[in-house]
Structure 1
Amino acid sequence: MTEHHHEHGWTRLGTEIAHEGPHLTVHRDRVVQPHGAEGTYEHVEMADGARIVMVDGRRRVAFVEDAFYPLGARLLHVPGGAIGKGEDPLDAARRECEEETGWCPRELRHLTAFHPLPSRTAAVVHLYLAMDLFRGTVRRDPTEAGMTLRWLPFEEAVDAVRSGEISEAASVIGVLLAERALTP
C-alpha cells in the first residue's frame, strides 16, 4: 500500500490484516505518528450499531440483561445490535427492538450518534428514543438465549445510571439524553 497522508497528522505506510472473523477485523498498520516516529497501530473494523431507549406508556424503560463474555458478568443495557451491510440505522433499530424485547415502536427519534472507542475503531453507534410501543415477536439469536427483559421506571433508570449500576456506554448516554428529551 502506498503512503497515505491524513490531515490529522498520522501517515499510514502500510497495513496488514492481523485477524479476520465474522464480527470484526483487526488491522495492524505501519504508521508515522504526528511527532515523526514510525510505529505500528492496531485498530478494529466492525459494524456500526443501533441502540434504543424504549419508553412505554407508563414511562418505563426497557432493558435487557445479558451475559458479556469478556466481562465474565451479566449487564443490564438498552436493546440494540449491529447494523447489517447496507441496512438503514433506523430499520436496524426497529428490528432490534422487536427481536430482543418483543415490542415495536411506532415512533423512533434519533438522539445522537457516538464513537464508543475511537482509539480502536471507527465504528459509530446510533442512539434512538422509541415510544408508542406495540406488541411484536421476540426473535433472539442463539447467543442471546439467556437474555431477559426488565422494565425500570424512568427515574429508577436515571438513578441506576448515576450510581454506576448501569455502566454500559450506550445505555448511559441514551438514558441521560432521553431524560433531557422527555423533560418538558
Structure 2
Amino acid sequence: MDATDEPGWATLSESVVYRGRLTLVDHAVRLPDGTQTSYEVDESIPFAVATLVVDGDHVLLARQYRYPLRRWIYDLPGGAGHESEEPVEAARRELEEELGIIADDLRPLHTFFINPGRTAWPVHLMIATAGVRVGQADLSDPSEQVRLVRVALTELDGLIARGEIVDPALIVARAVGAASGVLPPLGA
C-alpha cells in the first residue's frame, strides 16, 4: 500500500488535561472507520535536542541523576527547545548550560521521535566532532546536577551492549553515527 493511500485520523477537538512541567492534551478524534475516541498526547515542548560530542576516540557525556529511574545514568547533554530557537541554537545553549562547553563544529545528525505513540515533539540529535572550548555551565536549577564524563567509544559500545545505557538519544546517536560513517562501526 502506498502511504498516500493510508487514511489518517481526523481531529475533532483538543483540550489541555494538565499543564505543569509537562503538558498533556486530550484529542477527540475520528478514526478512518468512523469511530470516535479520545487520545492523550504529550505536547510539552516544541522539540528537544541532544548532542553527541566526539573528542578523538572518546565522547563527552552527561552523568545525571534521573529521578523517575531513581539512579544515575549516562546521557547526552540536551533538553527542550524554545519556540523562538532553531534546533542547533537550542543544542548549543543546552551544551553550554549542562556541561559548560562550547562546540565549534555543531551540526545535525538525525531527528527522531522518542515515543511516537504519545509525544508530538521531535528530538533533534546534533554531533560535534571538532573543537570544544570551555564555556559557562548554568548551575541555577538544583534538580539538574550534571557531571561531564569522558568515555572511550569502545567503552560506550560495551555499556550499550550490556544494557547499561538507557538514554534512547545516546543509543540512537551512536547507531546513526556509525551507520553514516561519522563514527567508527559499533564495537570497532
Q: TM-score, normalised by structure 1?
A: 0.86
Computed over aligned residues only, the root mean square deviation of the Cα atoms, in angstroms, reads 1.9
| Residue type of the alignment partner of 1:71 | L
1:84-123 aligned at under 5 Å gives the runs: 84-123=82-121
Distance 1:68 1:38 in 2: 37
Q: Which moved more, 1:43-52 or 1:134-143?
A: 134-143
How far did 1:92 drift? Answer: 1.0
> Which 5+ residue runs of structure 2 have no aligned equivalent?
1-5
**1:104–1:134 contact (8 Å) kept in structure 2:** yes
> Could you tell me the percent identity over the aligned residues?
31
Is the Cα–Cα contact under 8 Å of residues 139 and 145 in structure 2 kept in the other structure? no
SS for the counterpart of 2:43 is strand
1:51 aligns with 50
Distance 2:182 2:138 in 1: 29
The residue number in structure 1 matching 2:164 is 165
- Partner residue, 1:176: 175
Gaps in structure 1 of 5+ consecutive residues: 1-6
Question: Contact between 1:66 and 1:144, CA under 8 Å: does it hold in 2?
Answer: no
Residue 53 of structure 1 contacts residue 178 of structure 1 at CA under 8 Å; is this kept in 2?
A: no
- The code of the aligned residue for 1:181 comes to V
Distance 1:118 1:183 in 2: 29
- What does the per-residue CA deviation read over 1:129-150, in whole Å, with 9 as the maximum and x for residues that have no partner? 1121111122134144432221
